[in-house]
Chains A and B, each alone.
Chain A
Amino acid sequence: MLFNSLGFLIFFPLVTLLYFLLPHKFRWIHLLIASCIFYMAFIPVYIFILFFTIIIDYIAGIMIENSVGENRKLFLTLSIVANVGVLAFFKYYNFFITNVNTLLHSLHMTPGNIPLLSIILPIGLSFHTFQAMSYTIEVYRGNQKAERHFGIYSLYVMFYPQLVAGPIERPQNLLHQFKEEHKFDANNLLDGLRLMLWGFFKKIVIADRISQYTNTVFNHPYEYHYLNLIIAVFFFSIQIYCDFSGYSDIAIGAAKTMGFDLMINFNRPYFSKNIQEFWRKWHISLSTWFRDYLYISLGGNRKGIRRLYFNVAVVFLLSGFWHGANWTYLVWGGLHTIFIFAYMLIEKYYDIKRLSQKKVLVFISTLFTFCLVSLAWIFFRANTLGDAAIMCKHIFGLYHSNPFQLVLKNVAGAISFTKTAMLISIAMIALLFVSEKILPPDLKILNKKYAADILFCSITLSLIILLGVFNNNSFIYFQF
């Protein structure tokens, strides 16, 4: 079920209302059923994949806790293999086989192609798999007791607000909340609804509008003037932020209305002054997952400088690959590795903290970081590496064989983006940046200011109604 659908408009208040009407002991059942309905609105049969990993990890958690010595490691390994196996099969099998087929063809070594699977990737697979893995790892590390209540554990993996696109929660933060009785709190309702409203604004007013521009250009990059390409690149940077952080805001807000606290996933990342800061503020739940379970496990910065660089590269390349089975994501991860390496080298020889003392330098470094991140997004969004290469070539070569289009048309000549759409987009992006500069990500600062809060909520709601694009566009991160 999409957050920006009519179905959710009915589902959300109904689930929240029933949650508070039911006695505490039945609430987990209610939330579990609601989560199943939410997930099954996409492809119902894929719920069995979820059940499979849930059963494996539930048993693994208890076995790890009950075992000693090498057996603990064995059960953890089994759990990780099962989770990664499901991910590899559904997400990476076709990518791997396609590349093997290509390689064999180029070596003239194959009598025929190895067959590909004709399956659709289960929605949000990478998210709930990583959340499930964080549970068994934390039980193994002794930071979390194994959950004996199968229903509660299932709910930890399936909790509907964050089931398909995160935030990827840790068991220490979420599991205990299902056992606590949440009484109806109007403050939570206000905080949650306000955050949801802001999320809907980002998604429906900004992301879904500018996606019409980015989709047109990114699907046929060789057809457009370099200025159209540059606009598309910057628009995509905004689109992916508004789409994904919008989803996170709605998820966190929906959970908050029932009294659940989910972790903040974005902390105004485009105001980052350098690439390292950007990664502390972008998709925080995934960045910290890789930091806690991969980077630190590999030795972090404790095993010398060469190992540090190796660990950083592994984390970023895997992070790229986590997003999708395509070389474009790997190159995206590779580019960020290079950016981080460059930053680490500069930091070694130059006192970067001095930058923050001059406003002009802060502005320049923020803009430069945004441009670097946008450059990498080309590879993230491009359909193929070839398309990405053409875009870079045309942007940096100032390609202008095709005329610049103020009113953007697709290759068939139909209008994709009008002047009005451009005007609204620029105005709303400006409003977004100003609002994010003033307000913290959880927007709780507004609790203390009645008038400002009412004005903020009513204007945001009005803008959604007046300027929203109501075509039920899916969220970008659902595909991961």
Chain B
Amino acid sequence: MTPVKRIILSCLLAALICQASFIIVKKEIKKYQVHNTERLTELLYNKTPYDVLFIGSSRTHFDIDPEVIDSICKVNSYNGGIEGANLFEFSMMLHAYLQNHPAPQWLVLTLDLHSFTDKKFFNYAQYFSYTKNSVIEKYLNDNGYSTLRLKLFPFLEMTDYDDDTKGFIIKGLAGDSEIDKGDFQYKGYLSNTENHITSQEPVSVPAIMPMADIANKYLEDILQTCKSRNIKLVFTYAPEYKHQIQADVSNSGKILNMISNVAVKNNIPFLRDDTLSICNDPMLFANPGHLNKEGAMQYSVVLAKQINIIIQN
């Protein structure tokens, strides 16, 4: 056999091995990420109309239970919080959602201290399965994550998986799922265990949270989109345990003031839920930035009442 034939045959065999592995990998990841798959499919592909859409980071995802919101506000809501997302991903998610869904009446946007950084995707690889949504495809391609190579060689998607994602395959094979025993999901929400804060977190030296100009452009884009699609906007700042997240960020005051100014200027209600009494109860927090299952239940009741007042007015 000639060397050239050997090279070609090796490449073909490798492609075959990778593609076969990829089919198994995809299946097992879907099996493990049953919650993420379901919610991204709902947000990016389905057409269900919702009255209220929640967009934000993990502090939306784990903190707001649409079942509570729906029952108190008599609306149909969906939790579209994405792990580690900032304004770039908020903006993308809103546009991608509007691609198929009718515009919601209300958009509740949870802004964090890290929402204004210039980082793009927190986990871009999770979107590769949803490139039939043209907004997702455009955002990926525009930010250096080519989708063309994946159309030609789908298995190359695996080069974008980190070890955590690779671990999902093993967990999927073992029959595990990302919904832990005792937890549940409902319309995009995933309950966040019954663990609670047991000890005081060590005090760290506050660091400056970078604020990028581009983030303000994404925020402006969200404002304009809501205006043009007649979507009413509400800003929230999620509960945190005894302001510990803010204590770690030396410019937290500046960031929160900036959000307040935007809210006032555009006549948008801004719910500062870090001042609620539940924020002093360690039994309601899985960690300083995220509520646990019971905390989310209690907070969702409070948030629903706040939203209800806004809707009624």
Give me the interface of A with B, judged by CB distance under 8 Å.
Answer: 186-187, 189-190, 193, 209, 412, 415, 417-421, 423-424, 450, 453-455, 457-459, 461-462, 465-470
Query: Of the candidates B11, B160, B163, which one forms a contact with A424 in the assembled complex, judged by CB atoms under 8 Å apart?
Result: B163
* B160 x A470 contact (CB < 8 A): yes
Q: Is the CB of B6 within 8 A of A421?
A: no
Cβ–Cβ contact A418 & B163, under 8 A: yes
Query: Interface stretch among B112-120, B135-143, B164-172, B217-225?
Result: B164-172
A462 and B167 contact, CB distance less than 8 A: no
- Secondary structure at the A interface, as helix, strand, loop or mixed, is helix
Q: Given contacts A193-B7, A450-B6, A461-B11, is CB(A418)–CB(B18) below 8 Å? A: no
B165-189: CB near A (< 8 Å → 1, else 0) gives 0110010000000000000000000
Q: Is the CB of B158 within 8 A of A466?
A: yes
Instruction: Indicate if the CB atoms of A190 and B163 lie closer than 8 Å.
Output: no
Please indicate the chain B residues that have their CB under 8 angstroms from the CB of A190 in the complex: 3-4, 6-7
- In the complex where A187-B3, A190-B6 touch, is A462 in contact with B18 (Cβ < 8 A)? yes
Max count, chain B CB within 10 A of own CB: residue among A187, A420, A461, A469: A420
Q: Sorted from nearest, which 10 A-B pairs have the closest CB atoms?
A: A420-B167, A457-B10, A458-B13, A190-B3, A461-B14, A186-B3, A421-B163, A458-B14, A462-B17, A458-B10
Q: What are 13 A-B contacts with C-beta separation under 8 Å?
A: A189-B7, A209-B163, A417-B163, A419-B167, A420-B163, A420-B170, A421-B163, A454-B6, A457-B7, A458-B10, A458-B11, A459-B17, A461-B14
Which A residues lie within 8 Å of B41 (CB)? none
Q: A420-B170, A453-B6, A454-B9 are in contact. Are A465 and B155 (CB under 8 A)?
A: yes
Least CB separation from B156: chain A residue:
A465
Does B208 reach chain A (CB closer than 8 Å)?
Answer: no
Q: How far is the CA of A155 from the CA of B222 in the complex (A)?
A: 56
* Cβ–Cβ < 8 Å partners of B156 in chain A: 465
In the assembled complex, how far is the CB of residue A195 from the closest CB belonging to chain B, in whole angstroms? 13
In the bound complex, do residue B163 and residue A466 qualify as a contact, i.e. CB atoms below 8 Å apart? no
A471 to chain B, nearest CB (A): 9
A-side contacts of B17, CB under 8 Å:
458-459, 462
Q: Report A12 CB to chain B, min CB distance, Å.
A: 14
* Minimum Cβ distance to chain A for residue B299 (Å): 24
Q: In the complex the two chains form, is A470's CB within 8 Å of B14's CB? A: no
> Given A420-B163, A462-B21, are A450 and B14 also a contact pair (CB < 8 Å)?
no
Bound Cα distance from A450 to B17, whole angstroms = 18
- For B4-27 the 0/1 string (1 means CB < 8 A from A) is 101101110110011001000000
Q: Which chain B positions have C-beta within 8 A of A470? A: 159-160
Cβ of A186 and Cβ of B2 under 8 Å apart? yes
B12-68 CB contacts (< 8 Å) to partner A: 13-14, 17-18, 21
**Residues A465 and B167 in contact in the complex (CB < 8 Å), given A186-B4, A454-B6:** no
Is residue B1 contacting chain A, with contact meaning CB distance below 8 A? yes
Give A380 to B54 CA distance when docked, in angstroms: 52
In angstroms, Cα B17 to Cα A193, docked, is 19
Instruction: Tell whether, in the assembled complex, residue B163 and residue A457 are in contact, meaning their CB atoms are under 8 Å apart.
Output: no
Bound CA span A417–B11, Å: 31
CA distance A419 to B167 in the complex (A): 8
Q: A358 to B90, alpha carbons, bound, how many Å?
A: 67
Q: A468 — which chain B residues lie within 8 A by C-beta?
A: 159
Min CB gap A208→B, angstroms: 11
Instruction: Give A5 Cβ to nearest chain B Cβ, in Å.
Output: 13
Interface centre among B11, B163, B204 (most CB of A within 10 A): B163
* Measured CA separation A454–B13 after assembly (Å): 8
Chain B contacts of A461 at CB under 8 A?
10-11, 14
State the CA gap A399–B54 with chains docked (Å): 49
Among B4, B14, B21, B160, the residue within 8 A (CB) of A457 is B14
Closest beta carbon of chain A to B81's beta carbon, Å: 20
The answer to whether A424 touches B166 (Cβ under 8 A) is yes
Q: Which residue of B lies closest to A420 (CB)?
A: B167
Q: In whole angstroms, what is the CA distance A465 to B204 when docked?
A: 39
Complex interface: chain B residues within 8 A of A418 (CB): 163-164, 167
Decide: B6 and A465 in contact? CB cutoff 8 A.
Answer: no
If A190-B4, A420-B164 are given as contacts, then 8 extra A-B residue pairs at C-beta distance below 8 Å, sorted by A number, are: A186-B4, A189-B3, A418-B167, A453-B6, A461-B11, A465-B156, A465-B158, A470-B160
Q: Which residues of A contact B10 (CB under 8 A)?
A: 453-454, 457-458, 461
* Chain B residues whose CB sits within 8 angstroms of the CB of A424 once the complex forms: 163, 166
Question: How far does the alpha carbon of A455 sit from the alpha carbon of B2 in the complex, in Å?
Answer: 15
Chain A residues with CB under 8 A of B7: 189-190, 193, 457
